[in-house]
Every structure is written in C-alpha cells, then in structure tokens.
Amino acid sequence: MRYYLQERKVYLVYTLYISKYNNTTRTQIWVRVELLVDIYLNFSISVGGNMVRRIRHGHVKNMPDNYCEYIIDTERDLDDIPKYGIAIGSKAILNNRVYLLFDNNKWKYVYSSSRDLRKEYFHKIYDGFLQGNITEQYLNDSLLTIPIDLFKNTSFKCIELDNATEVESGFLNECKCEELIIPNVTSLPAYTFKDCSNLRFIKIDNVESIGEECFSNSGLEEFPNMYSITSLPTKCFSDCNNITTASSELVLTIGLMTFLNCKNLSSINFPNATSIGDLAFAGCDSLKDVSLPNVTSMGDDVFSNCIGLIEISLPSATNIGGYTFEYCTCLVDVSIPNVTNIGTHTFNNCKSLINVNLDNATSIGFGSFNRCTSLTDISLPNAATIRDYAFNNCSSLITINLPNATSISNSAFGYCGNLTDISLPNATSIGNNAFGYCAAMTDISLPNATSIGDYTFDHCTSLTNISLPNATSIGSNAFVTCASLTEVHLPSVTSIGGYAFYNCTSLINVNLTNATSIGNKAFYLCKNLINISLPNVTSIGNSVFGGCNSLTDIYLPNAQNTYTGAPWGAVNATIHYECEFNEDGIPLELLEEEQEGD
C-alpha cells in the first residue's frame, strides 16, 4: 500500500481483489484492481490495462485472510459485514463514501466527494494510514481548522498543512510525525504538541500566540523560529530533552518552567528578555552558555540544579528570587552588580563558587550562600541585612567585609570553621548562633553591637579577645566553650543570660561594670577564673560559679542578706560584701592589696 498527500488530502494506492464472473470460462475469478483513492473517494482503477473512473457497486467475497479492505453493495448493512480478517481502522466503500471500523465494531462514515484526481499533483509521504474520529468537513479544500486526534495512530513522517490557520490541541496525538509544516497557523493552544515524542522539527513562522505546555515533553530538536512571539508561557518547552540551543531577539518574557528539565539544553540567548519566571531553566543539566543582558527581574529557582553551569553574568538584574542558583554545583563565577535583593537560598549548595560580584546588594536572604564550601572571601559593601544562615557552613570562608551591615541574623556565619578576618563596624544586632563553631576565629570587634544573641560564639574555641563596648545584653550560651578566651571586658552590659560563659576554661578575669543580672550557671566550669567584680549586680542565678575551683574572690556592692544562693557554687571563694569600686568597676580593696604587694 502506498500513500500520497496533496495539501490536506490523503490518497491511498493499494491493491485489492474483486470477485467477477468470467463469461468465457463460466467461472468466478479474482480480478486484481489497483486503486488510487483520496479522502473523497475519487479514484482511478486499472483493470487489465483499461482505465475505469468510478465503481458504484461491486462485492468483494472470500477476501484473503490478511486483507481488510472492502467494497460493498449499496443494500448491504454495514453492521453485517463479516468480521473475519477485519482489523480496527479497516475501510469500507459504499455509494462513494468511505467508512472506518472503530473499536466498538461500528462502521462510521468518514468522507465523500466526486472530484477527479491527477496523480502527477500528488506529493509522496511515508507509510502510515489515517484513522480516528474524523468527519467530512475536516479534510476538504476549505478546511482551515485541524481537529483533535486527526492523525491519531498514523505513521506519517512528514505532514504539511499549507492552508490551515488553526489547529486544535492534540491533533497529533499518538502520531509518529517527525516533521510538521503549518506556515499559516497563527495560534497554538495549550498542550498542542505535548508528549509528541516523535516530533523533531516544526515550521510555524506566522504563529502569534502559544499556550502553556505547548511543546512540553515533545521530541523537538530545534527551538522553532517564531517571528511574532514575545512571551513564552508556562512549561512551553519543558522536558524537551533534544533541544540544545534556544535563541530569540523578540522574546521579552520567559514564563514559569518554560525550559524546565531540558536536559541537553546547553546555550540560551534572549538578548531583549527582561523578566524570567520561576523554574524557567531549572534542571537544565547541560546549560553552560547564558546570555540574558537585559533581564531585570528573576523569579525563584530559575537556574536551580543546572549542574553544568560554570559562570553567569546578569548585568541588568536588580532583583533575584529565592533558590535561583541552588545546587548549581559547578558554578564558579557570578556577576550581578546591580542586584539589590538576594532571595532565600539563592546560591545554596553552590559548592564550587569562588568569585562573587554583588556590589549593590543591600539584603542577603535566608541561606543565600549556605554550604558554598569553596568560597574564601566575600565583600558586600552595601549590604545592610544578613539573614539567617546566609553563609552557614561556608567551611572555606576566611574573610568577610560587610562595612554597612547593621543586622546579622541567626546562624549567619555558623560553622564557618576557617573564618578569621571579620569586619562588621556598623552591626548593631547579632543573632543567635551567628558565629557558632567558627573554630579558627581569634578575635572580633563589634563596636556598635548592642545585643548578642544566644549561642552567638558557641564553640569558638580559638577566640581570645572580644570587643563589645556598647553591648547591653548577652544571650544565654553566648560564649559557651570558648576555651581560649582569657579576659572579658563588657562595660555596658546589664544582663547576662544563663550559661553565657559556660566551660570557658581559660577565662581568668571578668569585668562586668554595669551588669545587674546574671543568669544560671553563667560562668559554670570556668575553672581558671580567679576573681570577678560585679559592682552593680542585684540578681545572681543558681550555680553561676559552679566548678570555678580557682575562684578566690567575689566582690559585691551590697550587704550579705541582699543575695540568695551564695556562694553560687564557688566553694573556694571569699565573698566581699559592701565593697567600694573605682570608676572602672575595680574593687578598691583589691587595688589596695595590689599596692601593698608592690
């Protein structure tokens, strides 16, 4: 069987056999008939070299088992056609009409016409046959709309529909078409070519609008030329794993998940695009070459999990959404000089990131650089706010320069085990665990900090000096296990939380000139603490000095009956009540002893 296509008409050339009575031999014989049949039942029949224009009647009997085509009598009921050897999709011809056998074993009228055909006008197409829920209007000369399931279960490799101006979504459902040419179609509805895994190439030069998921999970190998499209809608090319490049000078907006999981997409160039939606290029494993010079705004997860991306420059971007480059594990260089806001987890787990240019960023979001384990230094000259976990677990980070940062949130630099050089001259608020487990940090100066949160310097085991001249409150466990800390001078602190200096085993001298309240076990296990002056304290918690076996003197300003719980675990200490202190908070009694010793 052979197939031809002219415009939107399908023609079949096939051989069938008609039982005829031979008057010479007086026997019933089979006559081989070559038919050229179009959808309107226009055909020529060659029988023994003679050309016959039309057969209105005739009856095929006892057809070979492997043949399924019938020409039947006018009076025959279609439902009575023998089913022996007949397959779903078989054709029957009655009164110049073609019928198809459907899976409910019912014959349905499909086409009719009386046009003559000229074989020389036909264009060959590949093997396959037309089947589906098709009505008369679909394939005539005035057809402008291509309906759903028109080519369902066909094997055509190339389909060209020159006159069509509209297509219905799914007209290629379950079709093996590899090349589609619809040059005059202006609109593609949502899901039009979704899951058309065999479709490799499409020509849609005049299309003006595209619906969501139009090409999703199709087999397209090339990003189509679309000369009027300025916006790519949601999931338009998602899961198109054969596309390697995408480029358009007309596109201004790239929608949500437009190229999501295009595993082989390696290069994108949208020079005039200004806006990119969430997850637009997420999961594009092979993406390396990115040109988006005019993009100003990007949604969440735009390039997340682009594991092949090495560098990116977005010179015009001013706003970056959350998770934008999350898990871009090969990303080394980033330049987004005009961005002002870095969203949540923007560079989370970018384990190869080394160079960052975010000079105008004013806000660094939650977990923005979390686990950027290759990052060694960071300078953000205009950043005012550092959110929770912003640089948490940046294990190679050595230097941070945040000259205008005023707020350092919880765990902002937690577990930065190599951090040594810190510049935060304007920070006023330091959150919980902000520098927890920064084991290499030896000193820190926070001249404008007024509050230190819980666990802020937890396990900063190399910390020897701290300068907090304006801090008024120290949170619980703030310096727990700062094993190298030898001296603390906190002239403005009024409140010290529980366990604040717990297990600071090297701490010798503490001057808390203005402290009025000390929480439970604040100096517990400070085994080398010798003396402590508390000239303004009015409240002391339980076991504040428990395990401070070297503590010999505690100087307090008020009478013995003012305090409860003495000696607060300091079993070897002498408590000096009603002491007088100089302006620096040092007991006069202690100064006199030192002078006598001299």
The angle subtended at Cα 414 by Cα 541 and Cα 454, nearest 5°, is: 20
DSSP line for 402-419: -TT--EE-TTTTTT-TT-
pLDDT at 464: 93
CB burial class (10 A; 0-12, 13-18, 19+) of residue 129?
middle
With contact defined as beta carbons under 8 Å apart, do 483 and 507 qualify?
Answer: no
Percent of the chain with pLDDT over 90: 55
Predicted confidence (pLDDT) per residue in 387-436, tens digit: 999 999 999 999 999 999 999 999 999 999 999 988 899 999 999 999 99
Q: In the predicted model, is pLDDT for residue 224 greater than 70? A: yes
HSE-CB of 215 using CA atoms within 13 angstroms:
28
Report the distance separating Cα 81 and Cα 72, nearest Å. Answer: 9
Predicted confidence (pLDDT) per residue in 333-380, tens digit: 999 999 999 999 999 999 999 999 999 999 999 999 999 999 999 999
Tokens 């009694």 -> residue = 589
Nearest Cα residue to 538 out of 569, 520, 514: 514
Query: SS3 for 424?
Result: coil
Q: How far is CA 152 from the centre of its chain?
A: 34
- 305 compared with 11, residue with greater pLDDT: 305
Q: In the predicted model, is pLDDT for residue 191 greater than 60? A: yes
Confidence band of 17 (pLDDT split at 50, 70, 90): very low
Q: How far is CA 281 from the centre of its chain?
A: 7
Could you tell me the two tokens for 253? 């907006």
Report the distance separating Cα 81 and Cα 71, nearest Å. Answer: 11
Between the alpha carbon of residue 225 and those of residues 11, 201, 222, 251, 272, the distances in Å are 31, 11, 9, 11, 16
- 455 compared with 153, residue with greater pLDDT: 455
Report the distance separating Cα 556 and Cα 576, nearest Å. Answer: 6
Report the distance separating Cα 329 and Cα 352, nearest Å. Answer: 6
Q: In the predicted model, is pLDDT for residue 199 greater than 90? A: yes
DSSP line for 447-483: TT--EE-TTTTTT-TT--EEE-TT--EE-TTTTTT-T
Spans of all domains in the chain: 2-121, 472-598
Query: SS3 for 253?
Result: strand
Q: In the predicted model, is pLDDT for residue 49 greater than 50? A: no
Report the distance separating Cα 311 and Cα 325, nearest Å. Answer: 11
Q: In the predicted model, is pLDDT for residue 108 greater than 90? A: no
The matching CATH number, chosen from 1.10.3470, 1.10.3210, 3.30.450, 3.80.10, for 472-598 is: 3.80.10
Q: In the predicted model, is pLDDT for residue 446 greater than 80? A: yes
pLDDT at 574: 87
Report the distance separating Cα 494 and Cα 178, nearest Å. Answer: 77
Global pTM? 0.73
Q: In the predicted model, is pLDDT for residue 143 greater than 70? A: no
With contact defined as beta carbons under 8 Å apart, do 498 and 522 qualify?
Answer: yes
Confidence band of 144 (pLDDT split at 50, 70, 90): low
Confidence band of 22 (pLDDT split at 50, 70, 90): low
Mean per-residue pLDDT of the chain = 79
- Exposure string of 553-567, with b = 16+ CB inside 10 Å and e = fewer, is bbbbbeeeeebeeeb
The angle subtended at Cα 518 by Cα 547 and Cα 476, nearest 5°, is: 85
Predicted confidence (pLDDT) per residue in 487-514, tens digit: 888 889 999 999 999 999 999 988 788 8
Mean pLDDT computed over 301-311: 97
Predicted confidence (pLDDT) per residue in 515-562, tens digit: 999 999 999 999 999 888 888 888 899 999 999 999 988 888 886 777
State the CB neighbour count (10 A cutoff) for residue 522. 30
pLDDT at 592: 67
Could you tell me the two tokens for 251? 């596109």
Q: Where are the beta strands (DSSP E) in 352-424?
A: 355-357, 363-364, 377-379, 385-386, 399-401, 407-408, 421-423
Query: SS3 for 597?
Result: helix
Mean pLDDT computed over 219-229: 94
- 55 compared with 517, residue with greater pLDDT: 517
Pairing of strands 443-445, 145-146: unpaired
pLDDT at 35: 42
